[in-house]
Chain A
Amino acid sequence: MHGRVKVKSTAQQEEEKRKGREKKLKVYLTVRDAIFSKRSNGELDEEALQFTQQLLCSNPDFATLWNYRREILLHLETVKEEDEIQKLYEAELFFIETCLKMNPKSYGSWHHRGWVSSRLPRPDWTRELSLCDRCLSLDDRNFHCWDYRRLVVKASGVPVDQELQFTDRLIGSNFSNYSSWHYRSTLLPLLHPEPGSEPASPCRKQNNTHTSPTASPQTHSHRVCEEQLLKEYELVQNAFFTDPNDQSAWFYYRWLLGRAEREELISCVYVSREGERVAVAFSKPVNALTEGLMLVLDGQQQQRVEWRSAHPRFRHSPVWLCELPPGSVSDINNEHNLTVHWMEKHTHRDCALYTGRPESWCRDSATDQELFRSELSVEKTSVLQSELQSCTQLLELEPQNKWCLLTIVLLMRALDPLGHEKETLAHFQTLKEVDPMRSSYYSDLCSKFMIENTILKMEYAEVRVFSLSDKNLSTLCHLDQLLLVTHINLSSNQLVRFPPQFSMLQCLEVLEADDNAIGNLEGLYHLPKLEEVSLKNNQISKLSDLEPLASCPRLTRLDLRGNPVTKTANIEAELAQLLPSVTDLLL
């Protein structure tokens, strides 16, 4: 066969490869053993550097070898001149580069690089930056490199605006990149901080709370000035109009639109004369035992009171309770003044218990605080309005896009939760259809919004009755807002339990929750005023499920019809023993 090139057969090649691999392995093992014996002999010499380098080149994830190298380098630092050390470390950096080519995501190599850079007498940060840039141009999501880059930027003091341009560039070449968007979110507040640190919150003045200047310095530091915000909206809209299924842009958008910064304050103080009990609600869960909570009754500091959370399961809770000393407020003819101080936050709230009143409270209502609007906390309605318009425009083009739908729901809530209730519900319905994998998430979210709306309606009506039946509720939340509610109707929903938070409903007298799927009553715990409970057609199957009710001293009426538990033998007797106070039992 003249002129035809002869090529080795596959078998030949395989055999050669196998031999090659064996030879490599042998070399590898020999060197490894040599290194280990050197290390155990405490030899910190250049030969060891050479050996480890040889192995790390082919396997940069051998952490022990990197450690050994650091030991050697630290030792050499003590015996060499600075110039020699510089050279040594520069060579080290060069060597690490070859390791990174071997495995650009090697933890060991990147960590070692960071370590070497920090030891280098005269570091060349420009070079390191350009190395990072090269690395990121090959893989813009290499988080090791992002981490190292942050280190370099910090050490070399790269100006923030330059870094922002860097993210511009990366986002420009590929906007599906959380790292770049996130980096932006850390840079923008530094470069374009929102003018004026304290936004006005007029609602708070009518109450006696006083705002401390140090309320939360970090609260506003990550807000961005409006002019820049508008530019960012445009940028990110470009991204989600280009590819509405890319979530990185949507998440950034959510960040831009802002997140509620609840001010830390005492939102409600409730005192019951008859129960000789105080309940305090906070704007966020706290641990009252460590936060320095102080109760002053008629000018006297109450040293003895013991604070407990609404349910023993919570170490942090938005509602804390304490028993007043016996007889201290029980005389109905006396007027009492109560102040709760939150020492840590330099805030307090007063509450007066007038003559002849069995109970009293002082609080900010949800409506006053615009509590549920501030999930997105952009101050200007006009901005939100125009964002809503853009998203609606996108939705017309992409009626199935879940990110767009969800963002619209959030924007609507921020603008006017009650006014948009109907559209919101419709959007949730679509969301469940287009994204069935997350339908439970949407149900829960929708439940949350429905509860918020009901709380708002209740408070506008200034009543203590909370009624939310037949609304497909799948979960209960915002229960701390229901501290003062006396009657609650949750019938015909899809609830499966009363969560422990339910024990915050300290004023609850009547509970209706017929036609749900409730099997767990954990939250019906120590509700001092609870008298009637109706749980028809639920999933309570065991007597033990009813045990929490035993902690409610006033319970007299219990309706358990249509529950599996009623089929249990001897149920009546068992219940009589478990719940002696119940006089009116329906099975």
Chain B
Amino acid sequence: MRGKDFYKGGVGCECRFKAETQRRNSVFLHVQAGVKWWCVSGYNPAVEDPPSVKWPGLTESVIAAACSRVGQRVLHLDRRNYYAGNWASFTLNGLLSWIEEYKKSPDDQTDVEQEWREKIEEGEEVLTLNSVDSTISNLEVFTYASEEPEEEEEVKATSVGTQNSSGPDDTTPDKDDDEEHQHQEPENEQTPETQEEPENEPQPEPVPEVKKKITYAKLIKEGRRFNIDLVSKLLYSRGLLVDLLIKSNVSRYAEFKNLSRILTCRNGKIEQVPCSRADVFGSKQLSMVEKRMLMKFLTFCLDFEQHPEEFQDFSQKPFWDYLRSRSLTENLQHFVFSSIAMVDQETLTEEGLRATQHFLRCLGRYGNTPFLFPLYGLGEIPQCFCRMCAVFGGIYCLRHSVQCLVNMVKAVIDTHGQRISCSHLVVEDGYIRDEQRTRSRFSERCIYYNFSPCMQISLVTVPPLDSSSPAVRMVELSSSSMTCMPGTYLVHLTCSSVGSAREDLEPVISKLFYVPSSPGEEPAPGCEEEQKPVTLWIMFFNMRDSSGLDPSCYTLPTNVHVCTGPDASLGNDYSITLAESVFRQLLPDEEFCPPAPNPEDIIYDGDGTQTEGAAFQEAGDALGTSAAGEEEEEEPQENDQSEESSEPAASSESAAQDSTNESEVPETPPTLE
């Protein structure tokens, strides 16, 4: 899970994605250098091994990787110019252009219809697809950062190089620095006037003076180095996604950080949720007896199936009622209900117990909390699977969409009027015209805020403020997660929507954050607001959650498989389960994402259809000559990022940390600086 063993060199997809979106695209196109996208239809007719066509969200990309891994041909089309659909991560600039695009809602697509009509053969039926994405609504953006021009350009400019090199350094999930921060965390909340980087900030970046105020211009400027997700999810460390990442060896493409603390908002105060044994032991807010009660309850939840007598009376009643029937104080009921099980009032007892159990089982695998967060954002994960897909021959086309399906899907016709034959089509829910109804929505928005006390990634659960409002889940990301600039925090708030995102979330925001009345304004010294983090930028939007829909909701040909967009839950189990079930329908006899082979186990027969082979050459066994070189950890970290280069850069780690370190990969020497 630490990105130790990348494939060595060779293919462009070995590069780690640190640059902005545009660069990524070029990386992927580089994979296909010399292969035109339409060659898919070109070598299709023999139809012995038909390609599947997909659009890449998380579910789709997993299916694509799984198919490609077992030798299916995969063509990946996306009408967008970025990967991962609503799962995407953007730089701030990228996000701004995404916003622009949504605002101008294009509807000029009707006249191209004639172009593709002629491609239809006689007797074929046509099913038109949606060309406009309707999954996002109520998009609103507010800027609170000062608009005044930035002064201290020089200071920041020097940090570009060091930034990148320091990134991977603090990425191990179980990094103990984080724990130290936890201890040092207390009340050194800094007001904007005295703001400095916290001392314990793990990045060696020499930032003695992050400016007093973070201006909008600076956000924009720095924003291109960090990625902002559209969805806010975390990885349960024993969830299906983590299991799949490990099983399939896809984990080698990404790096993760452990969530460092779980908080909850109760009676207007933010408190730490004691969830692990160490937390309970160290908790100052629980009495001795509460500690025992909580531990006893949690221990019971770990194997609650063994003790049916403890809960069967409540099997048809809500979990909340069950909790109240147990010997738990109100405090503890709250912790278990909203921060550990994270369920709602209607959830039945057994489901609540299962959620608690899942949470607890995830504890301790990578650290003191059950969650992982991928560096550079959640959008990394679909990309990792895309990369896996590409390594095994999948082809990717961006800005390229499908207009219609032909007759039980023998083929699709793309936006350029090109007809592409295929045997299966996996498509995101958003492409389907309104054959379906949207059942629930969830809303979400990001804000930037300033000056929080420590370098942490936190999950905060905020119970409903009143009976009509939804419970809100808040994920606070520090710059060490590579999702925002140093000195700022990126906060995602997510809830099931009642009204528009803004209506639902504004009360929570004003409770927990200081929202300036005009850009750049600061809270009056001494007032209560001064203690709160300052808001810099907010984006509200609702995103459709179609995860509740089952396949029977769609009136579509049987070889069209619909994948829903991101669901509202915190984990990713829904998408992975869906991916696996679609894969089973496509290829019932194949294994789902078997481990990718180690480079040294791949036979390169030299027939030159792909370039990968060269990378997979065996490295010689080197004992005797280099015994001392084994397992050295203090290797220089990768450092590429010469801004304009689109050259793939191999990770130096991959070479250094492989146990046979005499790598023979002349094609791509590690780019070290």
- A residues whose Cβ falls under 8 Å from a Cβ of B: 1-8, 13, 20, 23-24, 27, 31, 53-54, 57-58, 95, 98, 101-102, 137, 169, 172-175, 237-239, 241-244, 390, 393-394, 397-398
Cβ–Cβ contact B71 & A8, under 8 A: no
B148-184 contact mask (Cβ, 8 Å, vs A): 1 or 0: 0000000000000000000000000000100100010
Q: B73 within 8 Å of A by Cβ?
A: yes
B272-301 contact mask (Cβ, 8 Å, vs A): 1 or 0: 000001101110000011011101100000
Cβ–Cβ contact B292 & A397, under 8 A: yes
Q: Which residues of A contact B631 (CB under 8 A)?
A: 98, 101-102
Instruction: Determine the residue in chain B with the shortest Cβ distance to A171.
Output: B281
Cβ–Cβ contact B291 & A242, under 8 A: yes
Interchain residue pairs with CB less than 8 A apart (15): A3-B73, A3-B610, A4-B392, A5-B597, A5-B612, A6-B603, A23-B621, A137-B176, A169-B183, A172-B281, A175-B277, A238-B281, A238-B288, A241-B295, A242-B280
Q: A2-B609, A173-B179 provided; 18 other pairs, C-beta below 8 A?
A: A3-B73, A3-B392, A4-B70, A7-B597, A8-B602, A8-B603, A20-B621, A24-B623, A57-B627, A172-B282, A174-B277, A241-B288, A242-B277, A244-B292, A393-B288, A397-B289, A397-B292, A397-B296
Instruction: Return A8 CB to nearest CB of chain B, in Å.
Output: 5
Q: How distant is the Cα of A361 from the Cα of B621 in the complex, in angstroms?
A: 85
Q: How distant is the Cα of A393 from the Cα of B289 in the complex, in angstroms?
A: 8
Cβ–Cβ contact B627 & A241, under 8 A: no
Cβ–Cβ contact A238 & B291, under 8 A: yes
Query: Contact check: which of A8, A102, A244 meets B601 at CB < 8 Å?
Result: A8
Contacts known (A238-B288, A241-B288); A5 close to B602, Cβ less than 8 A: yes
Cβ–Cβ contact B605 & A95, under 8 A: no
Contacts known (A5-B602, A6-B603, A137-B176); A241 close to B632, Cβ less than 8 A: no
Q: Which residues of B contact A53 (CB under 8 A)?
A: 628
Q: Tell me the residues in window 612-653 of chain B with beta carbons closer than 8 Å to chain A beta carbons.
A: 612, 621, 623-624, 627-628, 630-633
Q: B49 within 8 Å of A by Cβ?
A: yes
In the A-B complex, the 9 residue pairs with the smallest Cβ-Cβ separation, listed nearest first, are: A4-B71, A3-B393, A27-B624, A241-B288, A6-B603, A7-B597, A241-B291, A242-B281, A241-B292
Instruction: Return A315 CB to nearest CB of chain B, in Å.
Output: 47
Cβ–Cβ contact A174 & B630, under 8 A: no
Q: Tell me the residues in window 172-220 of chain B with beta carbons closer than 8 Å to chain A beta carbons.
A: 176, 179, 183
Cβ–Cβ contact A2 & B49, under 8 A: yes
B527-567 contact mask (Cβ, 8 Å, vs A): 1 or 0: 00000000000000000000000000000000000000000
Q: Which residues of A contact B628 (CB under 8 A)?
A: 53-54, 57, 95, 98
Instruction: Return A34 CB to nearest CB of chain B, in Å.
Output: 12
Instruction: Determine the residue in chain A with the shortest Cβ distance to B43.
Output: A2
Cβ–Cβ contact B183 & A58, under 8 A: no
Instruction: Determine the residue in chain B with the shortest Cβ distance to A7.
Output: B597
Q: Which residues of B contact A398 (CB under 8 A)?
A: 292, 296
Cβ–Cβ contact A58 & B623, under 8 A: yes
Query: Contact check: which of B368, B393, B602 meets A6 at CB < 8 Å?
Result: B602
Contacts known (A2-B609, A5-B392, A5-B597); A98 close to B71, Cβ less than 8 A: no
Give the dominant DSSP class at A's interface: helix
Instruction: Determine the residue in chain B with the shortest Cβ distance to A55.
Output: B627
Q: Which residues of B contact A7 (CB under 8 A)?
A: 597, 601-603
Instruction: Return B72 CB to nearest CB of chain A, in Å.
Output: 8
Contacts known (A5-B392, A54-B624, A173-B278); A397 close to B293, Cβ less than 8 A: yes
Instruction: Determine the residue in chain B with the shortest Cβ distance to A165.
Output: B183
Cβ–Cβ contact B278 & A172, under 8 A: yes
Q: How distant is the Cα of A237 from the Cα of B623 in the complex, in angstroms?
A: 53
Q: How distant is the Cα of A2 from the Cα of B50 in the complex, in angstroms?
A: 11
Q: Chain B: how many interface residues by the 8 Å CB criterion?
A: 40
Q: How distant is the Cα of A20 from the Cα of B393 in the complex, in angstroms?
A: 32
Q: How distant is the Cα of A14 from the Cα of B68 in the complex, in angstroms?
A: 27
Q: How distant is the Cα of A174 from the Cα of B363 in the complex, in angstroms?
A: 13
Q: How distant is the Cα of A230 from the Cα of B631 in the complex, in angstroms?
A: 47
Query: Contact check: which of B292, B392, B603, B612 meets A242 at CB < 8 Å?
Result: B292
Instruction: Determine the residue in chain B with the shortest Cβ distance to A168.
Output: B183
Instruction: Return A173 CB to nearest CB of chain B, in Å.
Output: 6
Q: Which residues of B contact A394 (CB under 8 A)?
A: 288, 292
Q: Which residues of B contact A174 (CB under 8 A)?
A: 277-278
Instruction: Return A194 CB to nearest CB of chain B, in Å.
Output: 26
Instruction: Determine the residue in chain A with the shortest Cβ distance to B68.
Output: A3
Instruction: Determine the residue in chain A with the shortest Cβ distance to B280.
Output: A242
Q: How distant is the Cα of A573 from the Cα of B630 in the complex, in angstroms?
A: 84
Q: How distant is the Cα of A427 from the Cα of B553 in the complex, in angstroms?
A: 65
Instruction: Return A241 CB to nearest CB of chain B, in Å.
Output: 4
Q: Tell me the residues in window 76-131 of chain B with beta carbons closer than 8 Å to chain A beta carbons.
A: none
Instruction: Return B595 CB to nearest CB of chain A, in Å.
Output: 10
Instruction: Determine the residue in chain B with the shortest Cβ distance to A175.
Output: B281
Instruction: Return A509 CB to nearest CB of chain B, in Å.
Output: 54
Instruction: Return A142 CB to nearest CB of chain B, in Å.
Output: 15
Q: How distant is the Cα of A390 from the Cα of B287 in the complex, in angstroms?
A: 12
Q: How distant is the Cα of A60 from the Cα of B65 in the complex, in angstroms?
A: 43
Q: How distant is the Cα of A173 from the Cα of B179 in the complex, in angstroms?
A: 8
Q: Which residues of A contact B602 (CB under 8 A)?
A: 5-8
Instruction: Return A185 CB to nearest CB of chain B, in Å.
Output: 18
Cβ–Cβ contact A242 & B295, under 8 A: yes
B350-386 contact mask (Cβ, 8 Å, vs A): 1 or 0: 0000000000000000001000000000000000000
Instruction: Determine the residue in chain A with the shortest Cβ distance to B660.
Output: A20
Cβ–Cβ contact B183 & A172, under 8 A: yes
Q: Which residues of A contact B288 (CB under 8 A)?
A: 237-238, 241, 390, 393-394
Cβ–Cβ contact A27 & B623, under 8 A: yes
Which of B176, B288, B597 is the most central at the interface, judged by chain A CB atoms within 10 Å of its CB? Answer: B288
Q: How distant is the Cα of A7 from the Cα of B291 in the complex, in angstroms?
A: 53
Q: Tell me the residues in window 571-593 of chain B with beta carbons closer than 8 Å to chain A beta carbons.
A: none
Q: How distant is the Cα of A243 from the Cα of B295 in the complex, in angstroms?
A: 7
Q: Which residues of A contact B621 (CB under 8 A)?
A: 20, 23-24
Instruction: Determine the residue in chain B with the shortest Cβ distance to A17.
Output: B621
Cβ–Cβ contact A57 & B630, under 8 A: yes
Cβ–Cβ contact B277 & A243, under 8 A: yes
Instruction: Determine the residue in chain B with the shortest Cβ distance to A249.
Output: B281
Instruction: Return B329 CB to nearest CB of chain A, in Å.
Output: 13
Query: Contact check: which of A5, A98, A237, A397 meets B630 at CB < 8 Å?
Result: A98
Q: Which residues of B contact A13 (CB under 8 A)?
A: 601
Cβ–Cβ contact B278 & A241, under 8 A: no
Instruction: Return A280 CB to nearest CB of chain B, in Å.
Output: 49
Q: Which residues of A contact B282 (CB under 8 A)?
A: 172, 238
Q: Which residues of A contact B278 (CB under 8 A)?
A: 172-175
Q: How distant is the Cα of A218 from the Cα of B612 in the complex, in angstroms?
A: 73
Q: Which residues of A contact B368 (CB under 8 A)?
A: 173
Instruction: Return B290 CB to nearest CB of chain A, in Å.
Output: 9
Q: How distant is the Cα of A259 from the Cα of B630 in the complex, in angstroms?
A: 51
Instruction: Return B44 CB to nearest CB of chain A, in Å.
Output: 12
Q: Which residues of A contact B601 (CB under 8 A)?
A: 7-8, 13
B293-332 contact mask (Cβ, 8 Å, vs A): 1 or 0: 1011000000000000000000000000000000000000
Q: Which residues of A contact B68 (CB under 8 A)?
A: 3
Instruction: Determine the residue in chain B with the shortest Cβ distance to A173.
Output: B278
Instruction: Determine the residue in chain A with the shortest Cβ distance to B368.
Output: A173
Instruction: Determine the residue in chain A with the shortest Cβ distance to B293.
Output: A397
Q: How distant is the Cα of A173 from the Cα of B633 in the complex, in angstroms?
A: 24
Instruction: Determine the residue in chain A with the shortest Cβ distance to B278.
Output: A173
Q: How distant is the Cα of A5 from the Cα of B603 in the complex, in angstroms?
A: 8
Cβ–Cβ contact B183 & A6, under 8 A: no
Instruction: Determine the residue in chain A with the shortest Cβ distance to B612.
Output: A5
Instruction: Return A62 CB to nearest CB of chain B, in Å.
Output: 13
Instruction: Return B525 CB to nearest CB of chain A, in Å.
Output: 35
Q: How distant is the Cα of A20 from the Cα of B603 in the complex, in angstroms?
A: 18
Q: How distant is the Cα of A237 from the Cα of B292 in the complex, in angstroms?
A: 10
Q: Which residues of A contact B632 (CB under 8 A)?
A: 98
Q: Tell me the residues in window 240-298 of chain B with beta carbons closer than 8 Å to chain A beta carbons.
A: 277-278, 280-282, 288-289, 291-293, 295-296
Q: Which residues of B contact A31 (CB under 8 A)?
A: 624
Instruction: Return A298 CB to nearest CB of chain B, in Å.
Output: 63
Q: Tell me the residues in window 32-53 of chain B with beta carbons closer than 8 Å to chain A beta carbons.
A: 49
